[in-house]
Structure 1
């Protein structure tokens, strides 16, 4: 099982967006014979320090935030979209698959979306399609797959569970 951090960057991608901070930390530790951080806790602290600095996102961070945007967009897509809304959603997916900063990530998503075009007839269709696309990527990365059910997707991306509720606050006080 490889995982995100073990995936090599594409041959033409030497941008920070194609790298992984975790991967860079492992390489630094290997070069120093493990002296850079002797425990996994120290390694995590070093990784957190890198993440806290105002640096460009690596592919892992960008990927997590992009999937949040994509799933949230699908979760709030109309259940009965009109032609214009379907066209906007199609253009949105096309734009992501054409402009995504990580070149090999972009090319892979573009190929996947071309082979399995977005299903835009309803919020349910779009949400399930997005989950399937995410699982397609996760499978390639050796990551766990999601259960693609509309109730599970709504709980995660639209409604949340009780742990996500804000306390009742009266604005009249």
Structure 2
């Protein structure tokens, strides 16, 4: 049972939010298709633009907006998107004085989700929840 006074019971910190966001984005990139549809490419670019406008940390959102301006989204296929995201993550890490991640190891770190029968793969424009 968790004590209500535990740190985990409070609002997330900027650092926790950042880690969770990068986890989501890298996992999305790992699942991104080798041959994305035009809509998937558009969606990824829109997602990044929306994050740069609506991210709960205004300072972070403004910085991400500038990072995107200098490094436009590259999402022609899974490898390209994963490498682009790794590069962008490293740009942010450098600005925070953190170590950079070797992008040649991005697939080993953020590989495909372990799902049965490829159930985690993105499926074009189809909505699996309908």
> TM-score w.r.t. structure 1 length?
0.60
Alpha-carbon deviation of 1:159? Answer: 4.6
Residues 103-129 of structure 1 deviation map (CA, whole Å, 9 limit, x = unaligned): 010000011111111101111111001
Greater relative contact order, per chain length (Cα 8 Å cut-off, separation 6+):
2
TM-score by length of 2: 0.79
In structure 1, the residue matched to 2:20 is 65
Choose 1 or 2 for highest CA Rg. 1
Unaligned runs of 5+ in 1: 1-48, 165-173
Q: Do the aligned residues in 1 keep the contact of 2:83 with 2:103 (CA within 8 Å)? A: yes
Query: Partner residue of 1:106?
Result: 61
Q: What stretches of structure 1 move > 3 A for 4+ residues in a row?
A: none
> Structure 2, unaligned stretches of length 5 or more?
115-130
How many residues are aligned here? Answer: 110
SS at match of 1:128: helix
Residue-by-residue CA offset, 1:92-148 (whole Å, 9 max, x unaligned)? 111111110000100000111111111011111110010001100110111110001
